[in-house]
Amino acid sequence: LDLPPETCAVFITPSAFKDIPVPEDAQIPNIGTPAWERNAYSIIVSGWKDHTVVMQVSLPGLELVGIDVFEDGSHLADYRYNTIEECLEELTKVTWIYFNPGAPWTEEQVTRYTENWFSKTLEIELEDAKVHDEYSYVHHPELLGLTPTESVLKVIEMIIPKDYDNLENAIKMANDLNRDFELRDPMITREGILKGNEPECRALLGRIAVEMDQLLDTLEDLKEVPFSRLNLKNKHYRQVFDETAKK
């Protein structure tokens, strides 16, 4: 799901339906078999802070496949589909109708949107992640006053810590790679890194550089992204690349 900035979505499973508290005075009609017994799934979309508009997506097990939009608790619009696939295919388009913050976007919104999109590389192939590229600083570096090289390295600088999660994981991944491929790099330790042991720091930096290269390959394969590996010999590229890896 391609969400605009300042928008969030929650996927509700059958077990979650069962655990949702219902106020004692709620006037809920009897619709037969409870949702959790009907293998019901749903997606709720709303603003991150502003919940004036709420969108409910009805998936398997619910009465109808479709999308209902509510504003201040009142039913605003509905969209009905013949299949779940049709509903999911239209979901991003309908979401943007009601939750696009409108132009012009702030730099913060552009940054958050771009980096949320790129974070999906941790779960799925990037080419499968939908994106409104007109709002992405990777596709349009001029949105943040960046060069193409600076834009791709900015988003990679954001994703690397998420990929490794913490220093211990980064060290473990580097040591595993060293062992599996018999790279003959020194064993990396937390103590060595914190004390600035040069061979260990160089080995860890080399692992991060490999990860960055792989991410750059992924971005270059997207034809809408203006970055090119032809800049590999460009001094500016090498400077920004090295600075990003060291961070």
Local confidence pLDDT in tens for the 247 residues of the chain = 999 999 999 998 877 766 665 545 444 444 444 544 455 788 999 998 999 999 999 887 656 789 999 999 899 999 999 888 999 999 999 999 999 988 899 999 999 999 999 998 878 888 888 999 999 999 999 999 999 988 999 999 899 888 877 888 889 988 998 888 888 889 999 999 999 999 999 999 888 888 888 899 999 989 899 988 775 566 666 676 667 666 6
Q: What is the pLDDT of residue 223?
A: 84
| Domain membership flag for residue 2 | no
Contact 48, 57 (CB under 8 A): no
Q: Are residues 88 and 146 in the same domain?
A: no
Last residue of a domain, which of 102, 133, 166?
Answer: 102
Which letter does DSSP use for residue 1 in this model? Answer: -
Q: What is the pLDDT of residue 169?
A: 87
Q: Are residues 26 and 67 in the same domain?
A: yes
Compute the distance between CA of residue 110 and CA of residue 134 in angstroms, rounded to an integer.
Answer: 10
Domain assignment of residue 34, given as a range: 7-102
Q: Are residues 128 and 83 in the same domain?
A: no
Residue type at position 229: R
Q: What is the pLDDT of residue 22?
A: 52
Q: What is the pLDDT of residue 35?
A: 47
Q: Are residues 51 and 98 in the same domain?
A: yes
Q: What's the Cα-to-Cα distance from 47 to each of 75, 101, 136, rounded to whole Å?
A: 17, 10, 20
Q: What is the pLDDT of residue 116?
A: 94
Last residue of a domain, which of 70, 87, 102?
Answer: 102
Q: What is the pLDDT of residue 128?
A: 86
Compute the distance between CA of residue 141 and CA of residue 146 in angstroms, rounded to an integer.
Answer: 5
Total domain count, the chain: 2
Q: What is the pLDDT of residue 31?
A: 45
Q: How many helices (H) and strands (E) does the chain have?
A: 8, 5
Q: Three-state SS for 195?
A: coil
State the residue for tokens 């961070």.
247
* Residue 22 tokens, joined: 């219902």
| Domain membership flag for residue 39 | yes
Q: Three-state SS for 137?
A: coil
Q: Are residues 35 and 84 in the same domain?
A: yes
